[in-house]
Chain A
Amino acid sequence: MLRTVVTRLAGAAVMAVLATLVIFLIANTVPGDPVLAQLGDIAASNPATVAEWRAKWGLDLPLWEQYLIFLRGLAQGDLGTSIASQRPVLEDIAQYAPATVELASIAFLLALGIGIPLGIAAAVWRDSWVDAAARVVSLIGVSSPTFWLAFIMLAIFYGGLQIAPGPGRLDPIAFPPDEVTGFFLVDTLLAGDWEGFRDAAAHLVLPSIVLAAATIGLITRTTRAAMLEAMGQDYVRVSRAKGMRERYTILRHVLPNALIPVVTLGGLAYANLLAGAVMTETVFSWPGLGRYTFRSAAALDFPAIMGITLVVSVTYLLVNLLVDLSYAMLDPRVRR
């Protein structure tokens, strides 16, 4: 098992570097010039200033050399300096990532916590009102555009009913907790700030529901289909013929088999939640990676884009590795 993990991790590292190469090439074929995007119109009309800028950011070097410089930095744990913010990219990412990871993780837990039980119930009481309700919930989740859902939720629960807090991670007048992990839920608890924790949690409710909506739908449908498939298997009939209670049959015989495809989807879904938070973060003024990505892309901030790519692809690969490992836990047939 350990050997599998090590091999897979090494493979993931290679894949991540390859991903940066692909992004590097794509970014450089995009028509547009980061220098022009950074300098004002007047400065950009002065060739000497432009040349000075290019030399400063190494943009005057051939492409392969620029990439080698990036790799050299990477080997030393340096992702370069952002053109836009003039700060080390790693620092930028460290600042923005926790907000997104916190949001995506809560959304992920929500999607699993609602989707799986709802899918199970829909399959067990097939064609009943439970099944119909589950179908409506997943249909709404999958088919509502994120920005629309976000505005509607804000309009109803913040604007109308006034039971939910507004945008942002905390109340505008509250002080953020001392940064330890960057996750406000954790940091407030560490600081013993109960009030702050409640505030952070309340601010997470709407955005995480909005972000999770589509995933809840997908997980519900997948769980239901996998449950129905497993319930039709011979071993389920065998369990009933053995006189096992229905509840036991469903939970011990059907569910573990049904979870196998759900895990695959779950892994992909988590990565997608991280990458797909842009829209939600924009509407909810969430200071996360999504907004940072958007700003960097708009500014053609190469070092930042490369850094984000690397972080996102490493996350994807790690999640995939976790999925594979949990396969081995769920299904003895793939164990070695």
Chain B
Amino acid sequence: MSTPTLEVEDLRTVFLTDAGAVRAVDGVSFTVGAGETLGIVGESGSGKSVTALSLMRLLEEPARIAGGSIRFQGRDLLAMRPEELRALRGDRMAMVFQDPMTGLNPVIRILRQLTEPMVGHGRFAAPEARRRAVGLLVRMGITAPERSILRFPHEFSGGMRQRVMLAMGFANDPALLIADEPTTALDVTIQAQILDLLRQLNAEFGTAILLISHDLSVIGSVCRRVAVMYAGEVVEEAVTEAVLADPRHPYAWALVNAVPRIDQPLGADRRLVSIEGAPPDALNLPQGCRFAPRCPFKVERCEREHPPLAEVAPGRLARCWVTQAGQVLPKAGGAGLGGVRPPPPPAAEPLLAVRGLVKHFPLPRESFFAPRRVVHAVNGIDLDVARGETLGIVGESGCGKSTLARLVTRIHAPTAGSIVFGGQEIAGASPAAIRPLRRRMQMVFQDPYASLNPRMTIGDTLAEPLVAHGLARRGVEVRDRVGGLLEMVGLNPAWVSRFPHEFSGGQRQRISIARALALEPEMIVADEPISALDVNIQAQILNLMLDLQQRMGLTYLFIAHDLAVVRHLCDRVVVLYLGKVMESAPAEALFARPLHPYTGVLISAVPEPGRQRVLLQGEPPSTLAPPRGCPFRGRCPIAQPVCETMPPLAEAEAGRWVACHFPGGFSHAGLGA
């Protein structure tokens, strides 16, 4: 056998802080053979990104490698001089980072950013490098590369920038490409394109790929093998499909079962598996298994002795006393159990009814005589939300879903259309008339870090709406109510005097939910409430939302881009594209058999190992100049000349509304469960 591309043995990386050495990567070993694909999965703080930076020797103060060895094509990376390392980076081993918006230098043309590694490593002369850069962009699927290459990064969309970043990674035909969450910042259809590209590049050029992600499904769609990291250690390593089907470490088990899967049958009990607690403090690691404090399967030995990474079955390594002793972890949690969930009682009148809703944002004039350009965010939306139901809104970025949330809560005033909430027309209502409405309709925002005032204790944050609406008098009454709210969302009532920075992301999102619940609203509009959280925390928040709905009969308008979550949580789903409703249907039916081609493509883009995908080419058109006719026709796989006229949103089947001239006309093998 030839030398592996990458051999990592007992790698230890520490952060030297004033409080002591934080062991971020603690004895990690793995091997990537030539042309192989390995994924590293874990939640934030598990050490996966630090591992990647250690491999590139790109660590910055106060991080340093404290032990172990890294051999790249047989050469010891830790013994190399800086100049040797530099010659290797971007040449034989390349890295692609998470955020394509900040990874490209805003003041340098794409061309130079692409060619500088080729010229810098002396592989190509400038004119050759330019030809090659154009070729790479073609390969990455960028249209008109000759022209694009002379542009600056801000003229590119996020998806295009990530293609440029990938092209940069492949500039010198590296033997190894390390990709750190390369699709996390992207929409699902763009993610599918990038993952597909990675797979093709691996197959075509034989580049070994090390893919880092928090999402096992993303890894499963590119990598043959996966290493699961927890608290700086590899806790399980095996073929990805095997881990997804039958995880052998309780943490991997929790990761697999914390996320609803788009292909799984839906059950009556929608609670997801979520493990309580948080990863251990890296300064004060438990003496035994690091996962033991949170592990639902732990035995006495786990807290006493630290388990080694050992074979539990042929080709399957796990760092767990329980599975090493031969015990099998139970099959899937609640998500897949049978039974039918009772539909919400049919309401005579919907709680929220939206008709012909339009919102345009005029941009500031570029010069005195220039015409004012207008962002067409929402272009005529009709929808109903019944009392007690959960309506999911899905679509790519720029489809108008966040604007819709801000319109129905009247944070923005609509340009046109009607919004009827609880029988009252609120589209044109004055701020004074809206105020009492706020009690009945509350909002939960995406970013739990930005949506809580850092200078207010959480007690004050929760008391504010109560006092403002005169629901409780200051003093004992408010204190009791706040304590009750904290308890309701699963937080310790004794924490009222703490500040937001003392809480984790998941805890903050619980506080945001408690704030929304303070006024005992009938409806909660949640704009991507879980997309900034780790999968295990996502499961906790989703479970909490389900519980609260059952206990308080809440109505949810749930906005998300994660289709599997929407399918799991929502009764009905509305699919938006460029500010228009494409399809609206009961969740189960919509995912089983989408009638609009866009819905079909969206569902098919969800990464799921072994699934056939329909790749959607290109990106949504600009909201500055929406196309005439069906907005989707430019990317639609079944578009016809008739699509130049906008199809009306019509009831194609009972309860299913579609805006398409050919409802159900697009089908393919990979769709549906």
Residues of chain A having any CB pair with chain B under 8 Å: 3-4, 7, 233-235, 237-245, 248, 252-253, 256-257, 330-333, 336
Are the CB atoms of B367 and A242 closer together than 8 Å? no
With A7-B367, A240-B89, A256-B108 known as contacts, the answer to whether A234 contacts B154 (CB < 8 A) is no
Contact with A along B94-109 (1 / 0, CB 8 A): 1101010011111110
- Complex CA distance for A270 and B88, rounded to whole angstroms: 46
List of A residues within 8 angstroms of B367 by Cβ: 3-4, 7
B112–chain A nearest beta-carbon distance, Å: 8
List of A residues within 8 angstroms of B58 by Cβ: 237, 240-241
Are the CB atoms of B152 and A234 closer together than 8 Å? no
List of A residues within 8 angstroms of B168 by Cβ: 238, 242
Q: Which of B82-126 contact A (CB under 8 A)?
A: 86-91, 94-95, 97, 99, 102-108, 116-117, 120-121
Are the CB atoms of A238 and B97 closer together than 8 Å? yes
List of B residues within 8 angstroms of A256 by Cβ: 105, 107-108
Looking at A233, A235, A244, the one whose CB has the most chain B CB atoms below 10 A away is A235
- Complex CA distance for A240 and B168, rounded to whole angstroms: 12
Are the CB atoms of B154 and A243 closer together than 8 Å? no
9 contacts between A and B (CB under 8 A): A239-B116, A242-B116, A243-B86, A243-B89, A252-B116, A253-B108, A256-B105, A256-B108, A330-B107
Are the CB atoms of A245 and B86 closer together than 8 Å? yes
List of B residues within 8 angstroms of A7 by Cβ: 367-368
Are the CB atoms of A241 and B108 closer together than 8 Å? no
With A7-B368, A256-B108, A257-B105 known as contacts, the answer to whether A243 contacts B99 (CB < 8 A) is no
Looking at B86, B87, B105, B152, the one whose CB has the most chain A CB atoms below 10 A away is B105
With A252-B108, A256-B108, A333-B152 known as contacts, the answer to whether A234 contacts B103 (CB < 8 A) is yes
Are the CB atoms of A238 and B121 closer together than 8 Å? no
Looking at A234, A241, A253, A332, the one whose CB has the most chain B CB atoms below 10 A away is A241
Are the CB atoms of B107 and A241 closer together than 8 Å? no
List of B residues within 8 angstroms of A3 by Cβ: 367
List of B residues within 8 angstroms of A252 by Cβ: 108, 116
Is residue B56 within 8 Å, beta carbon to beta carbon, of the partner chain? Answer: yes
Tell me the number of A-to-B contacts counted with CB atoms below 8 Å. Answer: 80
Are the CB atoms of A241 and B154 closer together than 8 Å? no
A139–chain B nearest beta-carbon distance, Å: 25
Are the CB atoms of B152 and A332 closer together than 8 Å? yes
B63–chain A nearest beta-carbon distance, Å: 13
- Complex CA distance for A35 and B152, rounded to whole angstroms: 62
List of A residues within 8 angstroms of B94 by Cβ: 241-242
Main DSSP-derived SS at the B contact region: loop
Are the CB atoms of A241 and B105 closer together than 8 Å? no
Are the CB atoms of A257 and B368 closer together than 8 Å? no
- Complex CA distance for A47 and B510, rounded to whole angstroms: 84
- Complex CA distance for A333 and B366, rounded to whole angstroms: 13
With A244-B90, A333-B154 known as contacts, the answer to whether A238 contacts B116 (CB < 8 A) is no
Contact with A along B184-212 (1 / 0, CB 8 A): 00000000000000000000000000000
A187–chain B nearest beta-carbon distance, Å: 39
Are the CB atoms of A235 and B152 closer together than 8 Å? no
Are the CB atoms of A332 and B107 closer together than 8 Å? yes
A33–chain B nearest beta-carbon distance, Å: 44
Question: Known pairs A242-B89, A332-B154. 4 more at Cβ < 8 A?
Answer: A239-B116, A240-B58, A243-B88, A333-B154
Query: Closest residue of chain A to B120, judged by CB?
Result: A244
With A242-B90, A244-B120, A245-B120 known as contacts, the answer to whether A257 contacts B106 (CB < 8 A) is yes
B623–chain A nearest beta-carbon distance, Å: 20
B60–chain A nearest beta-carbon distance, Å: 8
Are the CB atoms of B105 and A243 closer together than 8 Å? no
- Complex CA distance for A245 and B87, rounded to whole angstroms: 9
List of A residues within 8 angstroms of B99 by Cβ: 234
Query: Closest residue of chain B to A256, judged by CB?
Result: B107
Are the CB atoms of A243 and B120 closer together than 8 Å? yes
Contact of B102 among A235, A241, A253, A330 (CB under 8 A): A235
With A233-B102, A234-B102, A237-B97 known as contacts, the answer to whether A242 contacts B120 (CB < 8 A) is yes
List of A residues within 8 angstroms of B117 by Cβ: 242-244
Are the CB atoms of B106 and A238 closer together than 8 Å? no
A63–chain B nearest beta-carbon distance, Å: 33
List of A residues within 8 angstroms of B91 by Cβ: 243
Are the CB atoms of B90 and A241 closer together than 8 Å? yes
- Complex CA distance for A212 and B108, rounded to whole angstroms: 32
List of A residues within 8 angstroms of B88 by Cβ: 243
